[in-house]
């Protein structure tokens, strides 16, 4: 029996409050500001889903539940693909159209997206500079995520459940510090790739997620460059120059380091 069943579609989804949340700040208002807000809000919703699924995938990998972990990783990969393709929509806005309301953003920037930093933390980022831009309440949330095991920590335990012996220095490492790639883990990855099709598929899903994150960063920086060129960001960074430094940083370095050995 379902408890507290909703009476209506609009009530279940809270459509009325949802539709009051798009509040352009430009005075006329500028036509494209609504798109800018909706695209960002949609991203924040997808980020929420990714955070939710990353924690689920991590739990399933820790528990060695391969099929269920695969299903969740596949969903994360698919949501990321949507995030990447959604860049197309905002790219229909010209630099001039953006300029018409850009000053209204003040210092607001995706730099301050707590959920994006939470995703990075769950994927292994341990660099405290990521939280410097956040409001105190958001900072606590991201610091909490930085003290949790990463998706890769869970993958190391998953490898043990598939019969690989990994050192305790990996399995019981201090998860608050950055993970250091090691030869023994790469050896286990290689063995599983060669001998265990299910584990190999899990690794491939992780590579998909890695590629998805990197693709998002690339599409974002190209969108930024075509929209503001070499201007600095509203969040205070150098803009495109800064964003370029975040490209081509693999999320799961171990999965890349072994590939020349096949
Ligand atoms: C016209 C569209 C956009 C422009 C011009 C733009 C511009 C920028 C710039 C210049 C930065 C560097 C930080 C700063 O100084 O502000 C940045 C960072 C960021 N933006 Fe955007 N952005 C746009 C759209 C989006 C969208 C749709 C999202 C989705 C949530 C987003 C999320 C982010 C995130 C997460 C960062 C931090 C990246 C990192 O530090 O690795 N941006 N953006």
- Give 2 Cα–ligand 1 centroid separation in angstroms: 41
Could you tell which of 110, 111, 213, 238 is best to mutate to test the pocket of ligand 1, judged by most ligand atoms within 8 Å of the CB? 110
Domains (range + CATH), the chain: 30-102+115-139+163-231+239-261 (1.20.58.480)
Buried b (16+ CB within 10 A) or exposed e, 165-188: ebeeebeeeebeeebeeeeebbeb
Tokens for 217, please give them: 């960063």
Q: Which residues line ligand 1 (CB under 6 A)?
A: 39-40, 43, 90, 98, 109-111, 113, 116, 220, 223-224, 227-228, 233-237, 239, 242-243, 246
pTM equals 0.97
132/138 Cα distance (integer angstroms): 10
pLDDT in tens, the chain (262 residues): 557 787 899 999 999 999 999 999 988 889 999 999 999 999 999 999 999 999 999 999 999 999 999 999 999 999 999 999 999 999 999 999 999 999 999 999 999 999 999 999 999 999 988 898 899 999 999 999 999 999 999 999 999 999 999 999 999 999 999 999 999 999 999 999 999 999 999 999 999 999 999 999 999 999 999 999 999 999 999 999 999 999 999 999 999 999 999 9
- In which residue are the tokens 């309440």 written? 137
Buried b (16+ CB within 10 A) or exposed e, 214-252: bbbbbbbbebbeebbeeeebbbeeebbebbeeeeeebbb
Query: Which atom of ligand 1 lies nearest, measured to the CA of 87?
Result: 27
DSSP 8-state secondary structure symbol assigned to residue 62: H
- Give 248 Cα–ligand 1 centroid separation in angstroms: 17
Query: Which atom of ligand 1 lies nearest, measured to the CA of 113?
Result: 35
């Amino acid at each position: 029996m379902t408890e507290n069943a909703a009476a209506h579609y609009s009530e279940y989804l809270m459509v009325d409050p949802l539709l009051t949340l798009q509040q352009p700040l430009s005075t006329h208002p500028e036509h494209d500001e609504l798109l800018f807000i909706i695209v960002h809000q949609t991203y924040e919703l997808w980020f929420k889903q990714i955070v939710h699924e990353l924690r689920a995938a991590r739990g399933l990998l820790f528990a060695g539940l391969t099929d269920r972990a695969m299903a969740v990783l596949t969903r994360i990969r698919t949501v990321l693909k949507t995030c990447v393709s959604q860049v197309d929509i905002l790219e229909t806005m010209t630099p001039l159209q953006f300029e018409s309301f850009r000053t209204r953003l003040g210092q607001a920037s995706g730099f301050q997206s707590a959920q994006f930093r939470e995703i990075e933390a769950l994927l292994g980022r341990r660099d405290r500079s990521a939280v410097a831009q956040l409001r105190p309440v958001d900072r606590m949330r991201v610091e909490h995520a930085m003290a949790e095991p990463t998706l890769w920590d869970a993958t190391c335990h998953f490898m043990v459940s598939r019969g690989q012996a990994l050192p305790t220095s990996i399995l019981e490492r201090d998860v608050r510090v950055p993970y250091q790639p090691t030869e023994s883990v790469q050896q286990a990855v290689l063995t599983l790739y060669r001998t265990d099709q299910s584990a190999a598929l899990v690794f491939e899903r992780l590579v998909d997620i890695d590629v998805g994150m990197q693709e998002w960063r690339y599409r974002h920086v190209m969108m930024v460059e075509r929209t503001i060129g070499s201007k600095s960001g509203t969040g205070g960074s150098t803009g495109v120059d800064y964003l370029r430094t975040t490209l081509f940083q693999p999320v799961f370095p171990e999965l890349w380091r072994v590939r020349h050995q096949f």
